[in-house]
Structure 1
Amino acid sequence: MAQGLLSAEHLTMISTGFVVGTLARLLTLKEDYRQYPSYPNGFVLHLVTGAVAAAIGAVALPSLLTQNFVGVSFLALAIQQFRDVRRMEKASLHELETSEFTARGTAYIDGIAKTFEARNYLSLLSAFLCVLTMLLVPGHRPLLDLPAGVAVGFATLWLLRRYTKGKAVGDIADIRIATISFEQDKLFVDDIPVQNVGLPEARERFEKEGLAVMITPHDADGQIILANYGQRQAIVHEAARTLGLKRYHCMRRDFDTGRICFALIPIRRDAGALLQLVAQVPLLESTKKSTRLRNPQLLPTKKGE
């Protein structure tokens, strides 16, 4: 085989890896309750970048085997491209902040952008390992290496998705509908004073149309996470974005117990949907801490201590 030329077997491997990697990106691309990415333009954008990642992952090994190092150099360009995807997402979401009644917050935006960048790497690795498996199968028998490559590619996707899947608010706290009440001008959510509401019309609207949620962390780790302002901002944003917001929203943290409560006057008054979406709000990466930091006994000590 001449240097730089791909055989029919290599083309089959590249095609299989490309399809597996593209399908891997398609399977991870879904519009959830956060309504992001938007449909259809957001879908097309991320599906195309996922297909490019799959193509690069699929062509890497055959290019090395045929000493076509120009193809391998696209791996370096891919890293830059995926970083550009993250920067693009961050810039786009930051521009949308001014049009949101309740902002997402910088921590939430950073997490979304990192997620979309990482999912391109899932596509690349699925295609890469699919082709690697097909190359390692002895004899290059199509009836054996093709199913093996496809199986390894999707197994890689499953393992990486399971490894990178984060927790949600519902995993660290109990969430329930709370009671809105007033003592003169002071708005209370259950027993927690939230803020002063001076206008009688506003108090009447809160009592008739308002919804409130109480979030009680399971342990000290949950209290630390919910104390993060970016995490609380993400919760209120999703509630206001999903159910709509007529006018008011407010949140308060109980410093003694670590409980978080918020009240809002939604456009769609659906208590069940509110509980479900709050439970599904993802925990931001900026709130996660190492288990070694949570347990001082696991921290390394200096000699002589």
Structure 2
Amino acid sequence: MAALPPIFALQSGYVTLRTDKSRILGFVIFQGVRGLSHYYPDYLAVILIGVLAGTAARIILLRIDYRQYPGYPHGYLTHTALGLIASALGAVAVPALLKPDFVAVTFLTLAAQQFREIRNMERQTLESLEKTELVKRGLDYIEGIARTFEARNYLVMGTSLITALAAQFGGVPAAVFAAFLMLYASYYFMSGEIIGDICDVVPARLSFDGSILKIDEIGLINIGLKSMRDKILQDGLAVMIKPKNSNARATIHDIGQRTAIAFTAAVFLGTKKDVDLPEFTPLARKNPDTGEVGLYIVPVHKDIEKLIAAVKLTPVLESARSKPLNAGPSIKSVEDKVM
């Protein structure tokens, strides 16, 4: 028997993958190269078209935004390389299915495991950065970002697979059409809802009731020093986030969602908070009677319009998304059964 690559072992007459997880990516690359060499030259053009489409999708989806993550250039390089691998896996699956060689398709399951490791890697990275952040992202926001990075690799694989299929059966024109269609679909599915879609954001007034800082009727924190109270009234900004319906009210009730809103506002406008100035911590608190949320911040750049824009651009977190209005028929059916 020919010598096996170092990531394989011979057990009971079968070639098996070693359990060392650090070699999974190497195995995936090996299978991709094996597929290319096995099907060359018949499917080379199909594979290359699929790889190009998938890599283009990953580059389009990977951009530095107001969250400043991933960082340039190392984050770009890492995720572009992973996107290239994902697109190669999707493209190589086409000749493997048409040959047919169903054993070669099994490496897609290893790709799924590798993409889950990407989510863990992003989560650990952001949790490490969280320790030194003056204004926290929050664990819910971090988990949402980590899931996004995993999901985008699946979209890349799907883009390369569909494009390669179109190239195989319809030629280059069909491949170009399929690539643009999948790029649009990927961008659409990864855009998601923002707070501006579900809430109205309006300016609010900061005031003090004795030493209690208030946004309109919402009490926030106790500020003992008069100099701090004067500073907050002079430099502070506040907005009121008004939900458009009960679904939105349930969403902004979530603590993780409110933490994400405060973080986004601090990124957009900056904050005068420091390690010895806890009074300047951006806060988002709810009016328990109306469900409205008031946001307070002492920004570096005092611009109420920019603050409103920052709040509206905050993504709606998956963990916070709730739709109690849609539960009406289900609740009614349960009540009928109970009664």
Same-fold call, TM cutoff 0.5: yes
1:284/1:6 CA distance change after superposition, 3 Å: same
> Is there any run of 5+ residues in structure 1 with no aligned partner, and where?
138-144
Question: How many Å apart are 1:128 and its aligned residue?
Answer: 0.1
Q: 2:53 aligns with which of 20, 33, 37?
A: 20
Partner of residue 63, structure 2: 30
Q: 2:243 aligns with which of 190, 198, 217?
A: 217
1:148/1:167 CA distance change after superposition, 3 Å: same
Q: Deviations over 1:239-295 (max 9, x none)?
A: 123322212123321000001012121122222221111101111101223578532
Partner of residue 84, structure 2: 51
State whether residues 247 and 322 of structure 2, in contact with CA within 8 Å, keep that contact through their aligned partners in structure 1: no
- Share of identical aligned residues, percent? 38
TM-score by length of 1: 0.90
Residue range with higher mean Cα deviation, 235-244 or 20-29: 235-244
Structure 2 Cα separation of the partners of residues 26 and 232 of structure 1 = 30
Partner of residue 135, structure 1: 168
Q: Are residue 61 (structure 1) and residue 87 (structure 2) matched?
A: no
Q: Deviations over 1:122-166 (max 9, x none)?
A: 1100100011112223xxxxxxx1121121122123224324432
Q: 1:147 aligns with which of 173, 179, 191?
A: 173
- Specify the SS of the correspondent of 1:131: helix
Q: Are residue 268 (structure 1) and residue 301 (structure 2) matched?
A: yes
Structure 1 Cα separation of the partners of residues 176 and 242 of structure 2 = 44
Q: 2:197 aligns with which of 171, 180, 201?
A: 171
Structure 1 Cα separation of the partners of residues 298 and 125 of structure 2 = 28
Q: Deviations over 1:221-253 (max 9, x none)?
A: 111111000000111111123322212123321
Q: 1:245 aligns with which of 260, 268, 271?
A: 271
Question: How many Å apart are 1:298 and its aligned residue?
Answer: 7.5
Structure 2 Cα separation of the partners of residues 233 and 51 of structure 1 = 34
Structure 2 Cα separation of the partners of residues 288 and 238 of structure 1 = 18
Structure 1 Cα separation of the partners of residues 327 and 337 of structure 2 = 22
The total of aligned residue pairs comes to: 295
Structure 1 Cα separation of the partners of residues 332 and 133 of structure 2 = 43
Structure 2 Cα separation of the partners of residues 93 and 151 of structure 1 = 37
Structure 2 Cα separation of the partners of residues 7 and 26 of structure 1 = 27
Q: Are residue 80 (structure 1) and residue 133 (structure 2) matched?
A: no
Structure 2 Cα separation of the partners of residues 290 and 209 of structure 1 = 37
Structure 1 Cα separation of the partners of residues 176 and 215 of structure 2 = 53
Letter in 1 for 2:127: H
1:119/1:258 CA distance change after superposition, 3 Å: same
- Specify the SS of the correspondent of 1:5: helix
Q: 2:327 aligns with which of 281, 289, 294?
A: 294
Structure 2 Cα separation of the partners of residues 221 and 294 of structure 1 = 10
1:115/1:207 CA distance change after superposition, 3 Å: same
TM-score by length of 2: 0.81
Partner of residue 90, structure 1: 123
Structure 2 Cα separation of the partners of residues 9 and 180 of structure 1 = 70
> Is there any run of 5+ residues in structure 2 with no aligned partner, and where?
1-36, 274-279
Structure 1 Cα separation of the partners of residues 272 and 105 of structure 2 = 54
Letter in 1 for 2:179: G
Q: Are residue 188 (structure 1) and residue 221 (structure 2) matched?
A: no
- Specify the SS of the correspondent of 1:8: coil
Question: How many Å apart are 1:303 and its aligned residue?
Answer: 7.0
State whether residues 66 and 267 of structure 2, in contact with CA within 8 Å, keep that contact through their aligned partners in structure 1: no
Question: How many Å apart are 1:76 and its aligned residue?
Answer: 1.6
Provide the aligned C-alpha RMSD in A.
Answer: 2.1
Moved over 6 A (4+): 302-305
Letter in 2 for 1:66: K
